[in-house]
Amino acid sequence: MQTLEPEGYDSYFSWNFFDAVLSRKEYFSPYLLEETDAELLEEDAVLRRQFIDKRTADPDFAENGYAQLRWIYEHSPWSEPTYRRYPVYRYNGKLNE
């Protein structure tokens, strides 16, 4: 079990078996995403509200156009779902109940 825990001393993660989860394979181009982001925010009221709240709460974010595009991309359906997702599931229940 220790080898499957990412923080374990001698884990697969410490031996670089799962390095692929730490790098993105897909990303976005700001000039292409600007129009798409506007449409996405118009169509998704929840995402639009989260975006507005983030801009209101974080002045640095509100002034950084690239950070805003990246945030929308990371919360969009086009974002890479496996990025930073450890590929081992931990089951905390009992077997054969």
Q: Are residues 9 and 38 in the same domain?
A: no
| Sequence-separated (6 or more) residues with CB below 8 Å from residue 88 | 4, 6
| Least confident stretch, 1-5, 68-72, 73-77, 87-91 | 87-91
Q: Are residues 40 and 54 in the same domain?
A: yes
Give me the domain span that covers residue 55.
27-79
Distance CA 9, CA 16 (A): 12
Q: Are residues 50 and 75 in the same domain?
A: yes
The whole-model pTM stands at 0.59
Task: State the pLDDT at residue 40.
Answer: 83
Residue in 65, 43, 57 with CA at minimum distance from that of residue 76? 43
Which is more confident, 96 or 38? 38
Q: What total number of domains does the chain contain?
A: 2
